[in-house]
Amino acid sequence: MTETNLYIKNMVCPRCIKVVSSVLEAQHFNLKSIELGKAVVGGTPDADQLQQLSEALEKEGFSLIDDKKQQIVASIKSIVIDKVHHSELDDMKENFSSLLAGKLLKDYHYLSNLFSELEGTTIEQFIIQQKIEKVKELLVYNELSLSEISYKLGYSSVAHLSAQFKKVTGLTPSKFKQLKAPERISIDKL
């Protein structure tokens, strides 16, 4: 039996996987596997099925990606989001360029150029934005010290984290923590 890969934009967390799974089941797709940004279904959906699925996904804040280059960029984003928000970066054995090239089976320079061309920013800047949003989240929770956050997110030092945080947000981590309603950006908006 054939299988079809469906690439889905805005899947950024385990809850998104649950929502997309339920949409696929409601649309009578034979779901084989699902991960951030990608679902594998049995068979080959026709144009009408894909259109109905696209409409159902859009009602939930997701969208199907049919352009191959956009699919690669979505895969890059999913891998980075998964690593930054759902894994421990302190035990990461390889750098992001090796990780992305290995998972996507493409040369990193190609991935980097494609990402920059379609997103108007570099993969490195996207990673930094994701890490800063994770830092904001951890600061708001107030469960870890800045030193623990720095280690958890794979920074070389607290000073490096603080400098990068200030460069991106305009605030030091301690000033951000003092805000009554700190501004955070939804992951799917980055």
**pLDDT above 70 (res 91):** no
Question: Does 60 share its domain with 29?
Answer: yes
Phi-psi category of 148—alpha, beta or left, where left has phi over 0 and alpha has psi -120 to 50?
alpha
Threshold 0.85, pTM exceeds: no
Q: Tell me which DSSP letter residue 143 carries.
A: -
Question: Which pLDDT value is given to residue 180?
Answer: 67
The number of residues making up the chain comes to 190
Question: Does 116 share its domain with 149?
Answer: no
Question: Which pLDDT value is given to residue 164?
Answer: 96
Question: Does 51 share its domain with 98?
Answer: no
Question: Does 115 share its domain with 147?
Answer: no
Question: Does 53 share its domain with 80?
Answer: no
Q: Rounded CA gap, 108 and 99, in Å?
A: 9
Q: Rounded CA gap, 64 and 3, in Å?
A: 16
Strand 3-9, strand 38-42: pairing = antiparallel
Q: Rounded CA gap, 93 and 68, in Å?
A: 29
- List of residues 6+ apart from 82 with CB closer than 8 A: 35, 36
Domain that holds residue 110: 69-120
Mean predicted lDDT score pLDDT of the chain: 90
Which of 179, 178, 183, 181 is closest to 168 using CA atoms? 183
Task: Name the residue with higher pLDDT: 145 or 1.
Answer: 145
Domains identified in the chain, total number: 3
Cβ contact 112:121 at 8 Å: no
Question: Does 15 share its domain with 51?
Answer: yes
CATH number of residue 50's parent domain: 3.30.70.100
**pLDDT above 70 (res 76):** yes
- Positive or negative, the CA dihedral 124, 131, 98, 70 is negative
Question: Does 113 share its domain with 140?
Answer: no
Task: Name the residue with higher pLDDT: 186 or 71.
Answer: 71
Q: What is the pLDDT of residues 122-140, one digit of tens each?
A: 999 999 999 999 999 999 8
Question: Does 48 share its domain with 78?
Answer: no
**pLDDT above 70 (res 187):** no
**pLDDT above 80 (res 178):** yes
